[in-house]
């Protein structure tokens, strides 16, 4: 090809084969350019008009790296239009978007979360949002919960199968309580923090403990807000992914008098023990009476045996001539 161009420059005739080769190369090169323009031209033009700053070579590289260029472009445009794409603190760059996509993350969800956090004046950069997304949490839902707190039931009937908590005060009266806990997502502890189940369990434990320390169930029913304040003061949201905004006692019902029932059961048990002891003593008395009767019969047998020996002794005395009456005792 270089030789053909040299010959052309010198004005010398060249072989027609060279013209064919040069023409083919030009046609192939032109087709490649047309193909690139046809495939990536609209994307590049859209990025250019949106100030997304994505070159056509970057778009080609995304295809070679098996990255969906349309997803990255749309996310970058959203970030730029929302005013977070040019912020160095958020770190929304094309390379980071591609890396998060290749890691299996949800790029649109992360960008939407960053935009929502930016609008709500919440500190959330791209690295933290991507980490939350890769941890399996819904980062957009987390930001929404931070802006609009969520209310959860304690206990949760869908998970525990119970609609109320059962607690017993010191006077033995059972109270059935249903509480509503308002929580807000704590983005700083969302990764590795405990979930809603832990919050519900801790709140339930705190309510039962607070009621158990009350002297009377009437005291709890008169001032249910004291239970809420006592539970909030325990710091139950430590090491969790949520911050407790408030704990409200939604319903209180009086259940059974557990103390009275336990006392009645104890009295019944004591009665049974006393009856058992009395029966034992009666059996011992009957056994002793039968033993005395046996001894009496035995002694009577001995008396009869002794009385039977008297006639034998008298007969023996007559035979031996040793038996004397009172008339001839003198002679």
Q: Given this model, what pLDDT does residue 322 score?
A: 67
Confidence of residue 325 (pLDDT cuts 50, 70, 90): low
- For residues 92 and 23, state if they share a domain: yes
Residue 233 confidence (pLDDT) above 60: yes
> How many C-beta atoms surround the C-beta of residue 104 within 10 A?
8
- For residues 166 and 99, state if they share a domain: no
In a domain, 266, yes or no: no
Domain CATH for 187:
3.30.479.30
In a domain, 55, yes or no: yes
Q: Given this model, what pLDDT does residue 330 score?
A: 44
In a domain, 9, yes or no: yes
Dihedral of the alpha carbons of 26, 29, 33, 38, in degrees to the nearest 10: 90
Proportion of the chain above pLDDT 70, given as a percent:
88
In a domain, 319, yes or no: no
Tokens of 95: 């390379």
Sequential DSSP letters for 83-151: T-SS-TTTT--HHHHHHHHHTT--HHHHHHHHHHHHHTT----HHHHHHHHHTT--HHHHHHHHHS-EE
- For residues 33 and 87, state if they share a domain: yes
**What gap in Å lies between CA 109 and CA 141, rounded to an integer?**
9
Q: Given this model, what pLDDT does residue 187 score?
A: 82
Query: Is 105 in contact with 99 (CB distance < 8 Å)?
Result: no
Scanning the structure block, which residue is given the tokens 């983005």?
187
Q: Given this model, what pLDDT does residue 12 score?
A: 47
Q: Strand pairing of 165-168 and 173-185?
A: antiparallel
Helix (H, G, I), strand (E, B) or coil at 69: helix
**What gap in Å lies between CA 221 and CA 194, rounded to an integer?**
31
Which domain, by its residues, includes 75? 2-112
- For residues 184 and 87, state if they share a domain: no
The three-state (H, E, C) secondary structure of 170-226, written as one string: CCCEEEEEEEEEEEEECHHHCCCCECHHHHHHHHHHHHHHHHHCCCCHHHHHHCHHH
Residue 3 confidence (pLDDT) above 60: no
- For residues 157 and 57, state if they share a domain: no
Last residue of a domain, one of 93, 112, 131: 112
- For residues 180 and 249, state if they share a domain: yes
Q: Given this model, what pLDDT does residue 118 score?
A: 85
- For residues 158 and 223, state if they share a domain: yes
In a domain, 6, yes or no: yes
Q: Given this model, what pLDDT does residue 6 score?
A: 55
Q: What is the pLDDT of residues 167-201, one digit of tens each?
A: 888 888 888 888 888 888 888 787 777 788 888 88
In a domain, 202, yes or no: yes
Q: Strand pairing of 173-185 and 242-257?
A: antiparallel
> How many C-beta atoms surround the C-beta of residue 110 within 10 A?
28
Last residue of a domain, one of 201, 235, 260: 260
**What gap in Å lies between CA 264 and CA 278, rounded to an integer?**
21
Proportion of the chain above pLDDT 90, given as a percent:
3
In a domain, 277, yes or no: no
In a domain, 75, yes or no: yes
Query: Is 78 in contact with 62 (CB distance < 8 Å)?
Result: no
- For residues 33 and 81, state if they share a domain: yes
Last residue of a domain, one of 112, 144, 175: 112
Residue 19 confidence (pLDDT) above 70: no
What total number of domains does the chain contain? Answer: 2
Q: What is the pLDDT of residues 127-175, one digit of tens each?
A: 888 888 888 888 888 888 888 888 888 888 877 778 788 888 888 888 8
């Amino acid at each position: 090809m270089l030789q053909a161009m040299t010959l052309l420059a010198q004005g010398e005739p060249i072989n027609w084969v060279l013209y064919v080769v040069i023409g083919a190369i030009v046609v192939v090169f032109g087709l490649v350019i047309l193909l690139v323009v046809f495939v990536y031209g609209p994307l590049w033009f859209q990025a250019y008009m949106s100030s997304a700053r994505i070159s056509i070579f970057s778009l080609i590289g995304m295809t070679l790296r098996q990255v969906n260029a349309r997803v990255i472009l749309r996310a970058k445009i959203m970030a730029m239009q929302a005013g977070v794409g040019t912020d160095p603190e958020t770190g929304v760059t094309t390379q980071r978007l591609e890396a998060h996509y290749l890691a299996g993350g949800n790029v649109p969800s992360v960008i939407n979360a960053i935009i929502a956090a930016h609008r709500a004046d919440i500190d959330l950069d791209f690295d933290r949002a991507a980490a939350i997304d890769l941890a399996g949490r819904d980062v957009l839902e987390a930001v929404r919960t931070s802006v609009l707190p969520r209310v959860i039931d304690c206990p949760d009937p869908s998970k525990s199968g119970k609609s109320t908590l059962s607690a017993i005060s010191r006077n033995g009266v059972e109270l059935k309580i249903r509480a509503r806990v308002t929580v807000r997502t704590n983005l700083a502890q969302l990764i590795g923090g405990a979930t809603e189940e832990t919050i519900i369990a801790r709140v339930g434990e705190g309510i039962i403990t607070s009621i158990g320390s009350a002297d009377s169930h009437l005291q709890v029913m008169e001032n249910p807000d004291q239970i809420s304040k006592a539970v909030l003061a325990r710091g139950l949201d430590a090491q969790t992914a949520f911050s407790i905004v408030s704990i409200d006692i939604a319903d209180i019902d009086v259940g059974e008098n557990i103390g009275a029932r336990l006392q009645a059961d104890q009295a019944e048990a004591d009665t049974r023990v006393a009856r058992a002891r009395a029966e034992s003593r009666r059996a011992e008395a009957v056994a002793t009476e039968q033993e005395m009767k046996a001894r009496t019969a035995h002694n009577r047998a001995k008396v009869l045996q002794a009385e039977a020996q008297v006639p034998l002794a008298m007969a023996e005395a007559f035979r031996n001539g040793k038996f004397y009456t009172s008339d001839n005792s003198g002679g």
